[in-house]
Chains A and B, each alone.
Chain A
Amino acid sequence: MLDNLPSPSRRTLLRGIGGAAVLGAGIPLLSACGGSGSAADPKTVTLGSKASDPVPKKAFADIYAAYKKQSGITVDVNTKDSNTFQEQINSYLQGTPDDVFTWFAGYRMQFFAAKGLATPIDDVWKTIGGNFPEAMHKLSKGEDGKYYFVPLYSYPWAVFYRKSVFQQYGYEVPTTWDDFVALCKQMQKDKLVPIAFGDKDAWPALGTFDQINFRQNGYDFHVELMAGKASWTDAKVRKTFDLWTEILPYHQEGSTGRTWQDAAQTLASKKAGMYLLGTFVAQQFTDKSALDDLDFFAFPEIDPAFGQDTVEAPTDGFMMSKSPKNKTEAVKLLEFLGTSEAEDVYLESDPSVVHATTDADTASYSALQKKAYEMIAGAKSLTQFMDRDSRPDFTSTVMQPALQKFIRDPKGVDSLLSSIERQKKTIFASS
Chain B
Amino acid sequence: MSTQITAEIPEAADVPPPGAAPAPKARSGHRRLLTRRDRLTLGLMAGLPTILHIALVWVTALASIALAFTTWDGIGFDSIQWVGLQNFRELFEQNPQFWPAVQHNVIWFVVLIVIPTPLGLFLAVQLDKKIRFSRVYQTAFFLPVVMSMAVIGFVWQLIYNPDTGLINSFIGANEPGKYIDWIGDPDLNLWAILIAASWRHAGYMMILYLAGLKGVDPSLREASALDGAGEWQTFKNVIFPTLRPTNTVVLVVTIIEALRAFDLVYVFNGGAEGTELLSILVTSNIIGESSRIGYGSAIAVVLLLISLVVIIPYLVSTFRKERRA
Contact = CB atoms under 8 A, between A and B. Distances in A.
Q: Classify chain A's interface size.
A: 35 or more
Interface string A377-404: 0000000000000011100110001101
A408 B164 contact: no
Given A257-B269, A392-B289, A426-B90, A431 B81 contact: yes
Given A257-B162, A397-B285, A397-B292, A94 B76 contact: yes
B97 interface: yes
B94 A422 contact: yes
Contacts of A392: 288-290
B184 A254 contact: yes
A44 B287 CA distance: 32
Contact of B185 (A90, A94, A115, A408): A408
A91 B288 CA distance: 10
A357 B74 CA distance: 35
Contacts of B71: 430-431
A262 B97 contact: no
B163 A393 contact: no
Contacts of B163: 254, 258, 262, 265-266
Do most interface residues of chain B lie in helix, strand or loop, or is the interface mixed? loop
Contacts of B269: 200, 256-257
A201 B291 contact: no
A401 B273 CA distance: 7
B96 A419 contact: yes
A430 B74 contact: no
Interface-centre pick from A86, A115, A397, A402 (highest chain B CB count, 10 A):
A397
B289 A90 contact: yes
A408 B284 contact: no
Size category of the B interface is 35 or more
B94 A423 contact: yes
A405 interface: yes
Interface string A413-431: 0000001001100110011
Interface string A106-121: 0010010001010000
A89 interface: yes
Interface string B119-143: 0000000000000000000000000
Contacts of B1: none
Contacts of A256: 181, 183-185, 269, 272-273
A257 B74 contact: no
Given A401-B97, A430-B71, A431-B81, A255 B184 contact: yes
Contacts of A262: 161, 163-164
A193 interface: yes
Most buried by B among A87, A266, A393: A393
Interface in B50-100: 71, 73-76, 79, 81, 86, 90, 94-97
A397 B284 contact: yes
A200 B184 contact: yes
B179 interface: yes
A252 B174 CA distance: 11
B273 A117 contact: no
A117 B75 contact: yes
A331 interface: no
B266 interface: no
Contacts of A408: 184-186, 273
A409 B98 CA distance: 19
Contacts of A202: 270, 272
B182 interface: yes
Interface string A82-113: 00001101110010000000000000100100
A191 B160 CA distance: 25
Nearest to A265: B163
B184 A257 contact: yes
A393 B288 contact: yes
A393 B79 contact: no
B245 interface: no
Interface in B276-320: 284-285, 287-292, 294
Contacts of A391: 290
- Most B C-beta atoms less than 10 A away, residue of A91, A257, A402, A422: A257
Given A257-B185, A408-B185, A426 B75 contact: no
A253 interface: yes
B75 A254 contact: no
B176 interface: yes
B288 A200 contact: no
Nearest to B285: A397
Given A253-B176, A262-B163, A401-B97, A427 B292 contact: yes
Contacts of B162: 254, 257-258
Given A257-B162, A257-B184, A430-B292, A193 B176 contact: yes
Contacts of B284: 396-397
Nearest to B96: A419
B285 A431 contact: no
Interface of A: 86-87, 89-91, 94, 108, 111, 115, 117, 193, 199-202, 252-258, 262, 265-266, 391-393, 396-397, 401-402, 404-405, 408, 419, 422-423, 426-427, 430-431
Interface of B: 71, 73-76, 79, 81, 86, 90, 94-97, 160-164, 176-177, 179-186, 189, 269-270, 272-273, 284-285, 287-292, 294
Given A253-B179, A265-B163, 8 more contacts: A86-B289, A200-B272, A257-B189, A262-B161, A266-B163, A392-B289, A396-B288, A401-B97
25 contacts: A87-B287, A89-B289, A90-B291, A94-B76, A111-B289, A200-B184, A253-B176, A254-B163, A257-B160, A257-B161, A257-B184, A257-B185, A262-B163, A265-B163, A392-B288, A392-B289, A393-B291, A401-B272, A404-B272, A405-B273, A426-B94, A430-B73, A430-B81, A431-B71, A431-B73
